[in-house]
């Protein structure tokens, strides 16, 4: 468990250095990587400070509508990864022009 926690910490540190050292980066990709880092940092802090217990669970109730219980940090990570995938897809998408 300690090795995993330390490796996540190192990975987040590398991601932070990458984000702060890039002079040019697509805004959507920057936001995506920042969300991944924020969610990862939240999970890492839970692991360290709460002895592995996760504390950021959320459920949403609006009238008769109710979501399941989900982890807010994991949602941030998934949104960030989705944004990163979108930027990759935009780069590889053909322009549709005939040559």
45-69 residues labelled b (16+ CB within 10 A) or e (exposed): ebbeeeeeeeebeeeeeeeeeeeee
Q: Note the pLDDT of residue 99.
A: 47
Closest CA to 33 of 73, 76, 4, 70: 76
* Domain limits, the chain: 2-92
Model pTM score: 0.79
What are the residue numbers of the active site? 56, 74
pLDDT, one tens digit per residue, over 1-58 is 688 889 999 999 999 999 999 888 889 999 999 999 999 999 999 888 887 777 778 8
Asked if residue 98 has pLDDT above 50, the reply is no
Q: What is the pLDDT of residue 96?
A: 53
């Amino acid at each position: 468990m300690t090795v995993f926690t330390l490796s996540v910490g190192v990975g987040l540190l590398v991601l932070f250095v990458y984000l702060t050292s890039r002079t040019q980066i697509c805004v959507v990709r920057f936001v995506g990587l920042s969300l991944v880092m924020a969610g990862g940092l939240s999970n890492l802090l839970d692991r360290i400070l709460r002895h592995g217990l996760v504390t950021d669970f959320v459920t949403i109730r609006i009238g008769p509508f109710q979501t399941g219980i989900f982890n807010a940090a994991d949602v941030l990570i998934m949104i960030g990864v989705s944004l990163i995938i979108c930027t990759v897809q935009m780069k590889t998408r053909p322009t549709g022009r005939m040559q």
